[in-house]
Amino acid sequence: MGTTLSTSRPRPGRPRSRVRLVTIGLAAAILAVPSAVAAADDAGAPQAPGDSLRAIAAREGLRIGTAVDMAKLGTDTAYTSVVADQFSVVTPENVMKWDAVEPTRGTYDWQAADRLVSFAEQHDQLVRGHTLMWHNQLPGWLTSGVADGSIGTAELRDILHQHVTDEVGHFRGRIWQWDVANEVFANSWDSHPLADGVNGDDFWVQHLGEGVIADVFRWAHQADPKALLMYNDYNITGEDGTNAKFQAVYDFVKRLRAQGVPIDGIGEQGHLDTQYGFDPQTFQADLQAFGDLGLKVAVTEADVRTFVSGTGADEVPTDQLAAFAQPYEFSAMLTGCRLVRQCISFTAWGVDDGDSWIPNTFSGEGYGLLYDARLRPKQAYFALRQDLLLGLSAHRTDG
Ligand code: XIL
């Protein structure tokens, strides 16, 4: 059956050769750009990545990124090659979070994070530091100290200040963008939003008051004046059906900017789910509104999940249309970013479906990334690559 289909179907000869020509022309053009090729050489990658996402996007000054799992980088060869070849910016998925860098109070462990930063430098990649102030993945000594009252408010504030100063200071000059504050705004389902939309139940806001948000930006700026300091969150570009969370973040950062707080940009995480629908116009308009405030914007944690049957390499969307919605929504997010001049990077939250946070977090869901569990590029990967190729001639002619 499979053989019959593949032999009886005429091959689309002309479009293929046209694509090949574009690719060859592009590869030739890329050869003139040392960074992209040097990266592949350093990694000892088998194939020249002239048609890689990073190389094509570099032509328009856009960085394509991935979150990196440090349990695999350097040990899993295929995984490591994909990270080196396809991406020009990397985010540590976990190893810069507080519980990872300071598991015991006063004793830092920078090993895994240092390894990622060195890898990035060797492969001509930039680094998104993630993340300084977040309610999750805090070390046990801190949360239990707060819970049992042994760490009071003044001390907690000092601890946070020290954490930001030490971590940003440790990587000073080597981080492109820092996610300084992460997920402090209330969602439509949260029960205690403050008047301006900040989540009153957020660990940091609850204990230190919302003024701490401006303070972490000030502290981070003191520790590394050159890093781009971002506020990072999800559902801030219309994803939950209303634009209320966007509006709250917009009004808030506008105020911070007016007060001279050193905030440089907004990270829209981009965790989509095919069951909820997606409005590319709102996504783009909201990114643009942030851009018009004089901020940079970035898509920082893109994935598009859907319900699946099977696991690992056998994972398939249960709804056939989801196999089309998944690459479409990925593509629409990339397009939204590219149409906003201030959008500087587009990062997927992981490389492959075998190594994604989705199945552990959203029961019955998966299929969210650009590669399958065997590290084969999926339709979403090809959709992004085609988008980037298509834009080569027309896009950002001023860049
Ligand atoms: C997730 C990681 O992917 C998981 O490995 C970890 O167990 C939990 O955190 N928003 C964020 C990321 O800002 O840091 C989260 O990453 C996903 C949601």
Structural tokens at position 388: 């980037």
148 within domain boundaries: yes
192 assigned to some structural domain: yes
**In this structure, what DSSP letter does residue 286 have?**
H
Given a cut of 50, is residue 167 above it in pLDDT?
yes
Which of 357, 358, 365, 369 gets mutated to test ligand 1 (max ligand atoms within 8 A of its CB)? 357
What mean pLDDT comes out for the span 305-330? 95
Q: From the candidates 93, 102, 167, 183, give the one annotated as an active-site residue.
A: 183
Give the Å distance between the CA of 394 and the centre of ligand 1. 36
The reply to whether 301 belongs to the active site is yes
Q: Residue 178: what are its φ and ψ, rounded to 5°?
A: -105, 130
> Is there a domain that residue 108 lies in?
yes
- What is the CATH classification number for the domain harbouring 342? 3.20.20.80
What pLDDT, on the 0 to 100 scale, is given for residue 312?
Answer: 87
Render pLDDT for 266-315 as a digit per residue (tens, 0 to 9). Answer: 999 999 999 998 999 999 999 999 999 999 999 999 999 999 999 888 99
Residue 155 lies in a domain: yes
In which band, very low, low, confident or very high, does the pLDDT at 392 lie, cut at 50, 70 and 90? confident
Q: Which residues line ligand 1 (CB under 6 A)?
A: 93-94, 182, 269, 301, 357
Gap between the Cα atoms of 226 and 214, Å rounded: 17
Q: Is 14 within a domain?
A: no
Q: Is the confidence at residue 260, as pLDDT, over 50? A: yes
Query: What's the total number of domains in the chain?
Result: 1
Does the pLDDT at position 16 exceed 50? no
Domain contains 4: no
**Segment 199-241, tens digit of pLDDT:** 999 999 999 999 999 999 999 999 999 999 999 999 999 998 8
Cα angle vertex 304, ends 300, 309, to 5°? Answer: 145
Tell me the per-residue pLDDT of 242-258, one tens digit each, with 9 for 90 and over. Answer: 999 999 999 999 999 99
Concerning whether 268 is annotated as a catalytic residue, the answer is no
Measured CA angle at 183 (ends 156, 263), to 5 deg: 80
Give CA–CA dist 310/317, Å, rounded.
Answer: 9
Q: Of 301, 360, 362, which is best to mutate to test ligand 1, by the most ligand atoms within 8 angstroms of its C-beta? A: 301
Domain carrying residue 232: 19-35+46-398
Taking each helix axis from N to C end, the angle separating 322-338 and 379-391, rounded to the nearest 10 degrees, works out to 30
Q: Is 297 helix (H, G, I), strand (E, B) or coil?
A: strand
Q: Is residue 231 part of a domain?
A: yes
* Alpha-helix runs per DSSP H in the chain: 2-8, 13-31, 34-43, 53-58, 77-86, 98-101, 111-122, 140-147, 153-170, 203-208, 211-223, 244-258, 280-292, 322-338, 358-361, 379-391
Please report, in angstroms and rounded to a whole number, the separation of the first and last CA atoms in the chain.
50
pTM of the predicted structure, to 2 decimals: 0.88
Say if 40 falls within a structural domain.
no
